[in-house]
Amino acid sequence: MSTVNDFGKNKAFLIDMTKCTGCRGCQVACKQWNQLEAENTEFFSGEGYENPPAMSEFTFTRIKFRDYERNGQSEFAFYKEMCMHCNDAACVSVCPVAAFVKTPEGPVIYKTKTCIGCRFCMIACPFGVPKYEWSKAFPLVRKCTGCYSRVKEGLKPACVTTCPTAITYGPREEMIKEAERRLSAYPDRYLPKVYGKDEAGGTCVIYLTALPFDELGFKPVTMRALPSYTWQALRLVPGIFIGVGATLSAISWFQHRKERVQNEQAGMLSAMFQHPREQESQAQEDQTSQDVKEDQRS
């Protein structure tokens, strides 16, 4: 289980969705920096004007669209979906081979050479971020790394550098202060909430918006850090594996025992009703087979 740390100095994204224009420049920059393959997609294959329709092994971030009416007018809202880089990440706590790591800089990364593709991280993540490489014969898990290779060299993530309006990047405590300053300065523009300040124990991606978060498609999450829950569940896994394995072995033994008894009974019945000449011929074949085996051994 994780220990208590000061995450205020971790680098964090402040995403102001009231300033997002939906240009998808962040999607393109992410694809380019991470050298992710293009996907065959089409409009309206998902929830609306979203392309691609979902995050995948080839899409680490995307812009979700939400159309709504205000004062009789149709308007759009946008939501940048990506890894939340949780302070106390559930994916890190459940990984049995320590392939997921919470770095001192803030991003949650994973080691492809260590990953065994068990998918515990996919089950544990409250935001549904890690994706499986379904296109490969030996798939692993992939997700946004917060451009850690850039961050540790003092650079900003690729999506931050290309966003013209909505993303600010810096120490988490400063991003929270900036978010609260905007809420105080423009109360009519924002919903009075800093999403990510406390969700799932706190995250390194912080959102401001004008619409309720559930209407934008945000999943409800607890304010408590998830590892405290996941550890309670996963500590039972070894016992479950042993119990299930023993049960399956017992079932297999009984099934094979039944087959052996049936074969022996069938052999006895066949011998009882076999003609004497056939029995003599069968005995000769058995003796010949035995002689061949002895010759091969010698």
pLDDT tens, residue by residue, 266-277: 666 555 556 666
Cβ proximity of 194 and 182 under 8 Å: no
pTM of this prediction? Answer: 0.74
pLDDT one-digit tens code per residue, 34-73: 999 998 877 666 666 778 888 999 999 999 988 887 778 8
pLDDT of residue 2 exceeding 50, the answer is: no
Burial 120-151 (b: 16+ CB within 10 A, else e): bbbebbbbebbbebeeeeeebbbbbbbbbebb
Please give the backbone phi and psi of residue 159, each rounded to the nearest 5 degrees, phi first: -65, -30
Look at residue 49 in the predicted model and tell me its pLDDT.
Answer: 73
Tokens 């394995």 correspond to what residue?
245
Cβ proximity of 195 and 66 under 8 Å: no
pLDDT of residue 281 exceeding 80, the answer is: no
Cα–Cα distance list, 177 to 110, 184, 195, 206 (Å): 29, 11, 13, 11
Instruction: Please tell me the least confidently modeled range out of 153-162, 168-177, 207-216.
Output: 207-216
- The answer to whether the peptide bond before residue 52 is cis (omega within 30 degrees of 0) is yes
Number of Cα atoms under 13 Å in the Cβ half of residue 83: 32
pLDDT one-digit tens code per residue, 79-94: 899 999 999 999 999 9
Range ranked top by mean pLDDT from 70-79, 89-98, 287-296:
89-98
Cβ neighbours, 10 Å, residue 221: 17
Tokens 């979902």 correspond to what residue?
54
